[in-house]
Amino acid sequence: MILDKETKIVLVLGLTGAGKSYLIREISGQDVKVGDDLGSCTQKIEPVRCQISGQSVIILDTPGFDDTNRSDTEVLADVADYLALLYSRNFKVCGIIYLYNIDEIRYRGNAARNLEMFEKLCGEHSFKNVVMLTRGWGSDALPSALKKENTLKNNYWKLYLEAGCRIDRYLDVDDLIRIFDTIIQRSPVVLDIQREMVDEEKPLDRTAAGELLNRDLAKQKKIFDEEIATITRNYHKYTDQMREEMDKSRLEMESALKKLEVERLMLTDSHKRAQDASKAGMQEQYRQLEKEREGENEKYKQRLKEAETEKNGVAREKAELEAILKHHNNQKSLKRKEQEFWGAAVAF
């Protein structure tokens, strides 16, 4: 596939275990690595190129913001930088799929958190390009699933649907084809994270998504600081056994605080650090795309050459046929004139 201005780009978001990679494997027909409900397979954005209804499409598979192996800061840095680099090369997203497994026992707290991050990344103006897609229906729409869908519509997703997002169900690949056919007809949009990082040149921690994450980090830091202060303040009251346990707890919290500080610095320094890391991978992908483009161009040149050769051959054949036809017509004309001459001579 060639990444050109005719290629449609679709972004797939959702919780870890929602089935994003499986969805992409179904619609693309490609061997996309699929995880299970407990772990994430997608560690960075994975672009999958395919043809849908004759249209060249790139589907971006993303890790969830509740990823089992990476912090939300790492995930945000990778996703944001990838999208910003795409936009800086004048490629825009024409559709966003927010995938949710209707088979979830209950609406988890991290589902609301993930949805809030989706809103900060995309922005309300892009909601007309969003499909909030539910999966896990099975062959029948069970009463429990219908009840959950109604809860999503009337509660958790209500404001998003009122703002322009569309809700749909995904049971099989036919549903996906129908949904993607609609999505790729949409006019491309500039996502908020792209506008902020490229047009406004904001570092990640100054974007809406980055500020949301920074607030979360600050809340976690405050909790750890207060717990450490409580341990320190009451340390003299503890028995030796309790002190041993408190020392262990304090070490764990101090370690967690160091990780939080690393994440905070990652956000602050992301304008350069995260870009450098992501661009290296992206540039390699673009080099590969350029190689593919050159290969495709060579194929097109060869086909054009063959077509020209064929065209010249057809032209020669046409000229020969026209010459033969002209010769035949001349012969018929001469024969007719000869007959007219002899007919006139006999009459004379």
Residue 116 maps to a domain: yes
Residue 107 maps to a domain: yes
- What are the pLDDT digits (tens) for 23-68? 999 999 876 554 444 344 445 788 999 999 899 999 999 988 877 7
Please indicate, yes or no, whether residues 176 and 264 belong to a single structural domain of this protein: no
Final residue belonging to a domain, choices 268, 291, 319 = 268
CATH of the domain at 61: 3.40.50.300
Please indicate, yes or no, whether residues 27 and 168 belong to a single structural domain of this protein: yes
Residue 329 maps to a domain: no
Final residue belonging to a domain, choices 248, 268, 288 = 268
Residue 296 maps to a domain: no
- What are the pLDDT digits (tens) for 259-268? 888 888 877 7
Residue 302 maps to a domain: no
Predicted TM-score of the model (pTM): 0.71
Distances from the Cα of 268 to the Cαs of 78, 192, 203, 272, 337, in angstroms? Answer: 14, 18, 7, 9, 98
Residue 53 maps to a domain: yes
Dist CA 135 CA 168 (whole Å): 9
Name which of 13-22, 26-35, 175-184 the model is least confident about.
26-35
Final residue belonging to a domain, choices 201, 234, 258 = 201
Please indicate, yes or no, whether residues 62 and 123 belong to a single structural domain of this protein: yes
Please indicate, yes or no, whether residues 152 and 215 belong to a single structural domain of this protein: no
Residue 327 maps to a domain: no
Please indicate, yes or no, whether residues 166 and 225 belong to a single structural domain of this protein: no
Alpha helices in the chain, H assignment, sequence order: 20-28, 72-88, 109-122, 143-151, 158-162, 173-183, 192-194, 208-233, 240-268, 273-347
Please indicate, yes or no, whether residues 45 and 114 belong to a single structural domain of this protein: yes
Counting the structural domains of the chain, the total is 2
Percent of the chain with pLDDT over 70: 72
Please indicate, yes or no, whether residues 179 and 89 belong to a single structural domain of this protein: yes
Please indicate, yes or no, whether residues 59 and 95 belong to a single structural domain of this protein: yes
Domain that includes residue 114, residue range: 8-201
Query: What rounded mean pLDDT belongs to the chain?
Result: 81
Residue 141 maps to a domain: yes
Our measurement of the distance from residue 140's CA atom to the centroid of its chain's CA atoms, rounded to an integer in Å, reads 29
Please indicate, yes or no, whether residues 162 and 234 belong to a single structural domain of this protein: no
Q: Which pLDDT band, with edges at 50, 70 and 90, does 250 fall under?
A: confident
Distances from the Cα of 79 to the Cαs of 11, 43, 95, in angstroms? Answer: 10, 10, 16
Q: Which two tokens stand for residue 217?
A: 């980090």
Please indicate, yes or no, whether residues 64 and 189 belong to a single structural domain of this protein: yes
Please indicate, yes or no, whether residues 93 and 235 belong to a single structural domain of this protein: no
- What are the pLDDT digits (tens) for 191-248? 999 999 999 999 999 999 999 999 988 998 999 899 999 888 888 888 888 888 888 8
- What are the pLDDT digits (tens) for 110-153? 888 889 999 999 999 999 999 999 998 876 668 888 899 999 99
Please indicate, yes or no, whether residues 24 and 83 belong to a single structural domain of this protein: yes
